[in-house]
Structure 1
């Protein structure tokens, strides 16, 4: 959605850019499964609106977007060793997907238990041990 909105405002809605140039920009900007959607369309001025519509139709599917963000949460690469850089990467990936899910209307405010489980399973052994010790200390001080 972010790509679509940015591309739309900078390229698609810009009347000073010819359709053939828009098509070139679109092809150059896409990778993987997104690129495959328009790969077979002939590169011509008249085909750009078709390519843009196909791209938008394919990726403007709320259910599919939600599934992809949930899958991304489960598929975050585990930390292999204790590192602030790795921990920051993990947090950034979780936050990115949660913001997207919230934007799509998902009730993420009530996912605490599930998210804690998913995230802690991505910790390296040492970080997980520190996490568990922090929980034990927190329980003792609250009693």
Structure 2
């Protein structure tokens, strides 16, 4: 290892990990694959909601326009719920 290799290594890391499209795709996948535990509790629903908010906030920080995603996110949230939680959601 020499200092001559630093620029090469740094550029390689940037190329591998600073891909905005891949980062966005990973956050979107995480939203779509979110799940809630099977317990019928406010805590499990809060955990799901917190996870979705975290991913959407990350997407917003990456300059993705998420302001019009309300219905999409509500649909994803509903699909993530088990039957017991969905029963309460529909009331």
The equivalent residue for 1:77 is 35
Give the CA RMSD over aligned residues.
Answer: 1.8
Question: What is the CA-CA distance between 1:64 and the residue it aligns to?
Answer: 1.1
Unaligned runs of 5+ in 2: none
- Tell me, yes or no, if the aligned pair for 2:28 and 2:55 is still in contact at 8 Å: yes
The equivalent residue for 2:9 is 51
Unaligned runs of 5+ in 1: 1-43, 134-143
Q: TM-score, normalised by structure 2?
A: 0.83
- Larger CA Rg, structure 1 vs 2: 1
Question: What is the CA-CA distance between 1:45 and the residue it aligns to?
Answer: 5.1
The CA distance in 1 between the partners of 2:33 and 2:85, in whole Å, is 19
Q: TM-score, normalised by structure 1?
A: 0.56
The higher-RCO structure (CA 8 Å, 6+ apart) is 2
